[in-house]
Amino acid sequence: MAKKKYNRIQKKRLFSIRWCGPCLRVAPKIEEWSGGDFKHNVVFLKCDVDQAEAVSQEYNIEAMPTFVFFKDGKEVHRIVGANVDQLKADIESKSK
């Protein structure tokens, strides 16, 4: 039963690099949202592309930051860039 519930939860994966300015600017918002507004229905995962090149290649990451949205194990949306307002709006619309 727990697995089914987990699969319905929207998952977001952030692909970034430690030295990426836009990544550093958006990171505090992601931290805030993961413990606040979206803590019950969204799981945020972070992937440093310098540390996990194979993963970034698997998801065809070409720019940072890239946010990949998954639902029930399938990619449903993707955002490139650090527009916090657009990101929050997309998370709200895709997590329903």
- Predicted confidence (pLDDT) per residue in 35-71, tens digit: 888 888 888 888 888 888 898 899 999 998 999 998 8
DSSP 8-state secondary structure symbol assigned to residue 96 = -
Tell me if residue 20 is catalytic: yes
Catalytic residue among 10, 13, 15, 23: 23
Catalytic residue among 13, 16, 20, 91: 20
DSSP 19-43: T-HHHHHHHHHHHHHHHTTTTTTEE
pLDDT value, residue 85: 95
Average pLDDT, the chain: 82
Rounded CA separation 90/38 (Å):
12
Rounded CA separation 36/31 (Å):
9
Q: How many CB atoms lie within 10 A of CB 46?
A: 15
Tell me if residue 47 is catalytic: no
Domains of the chain, start order: 2-94 (3.40.30.10)
Could you give the C-alpha distances from 7 to 17, 71, 76, in angstroms and in order? 28, 7, 14
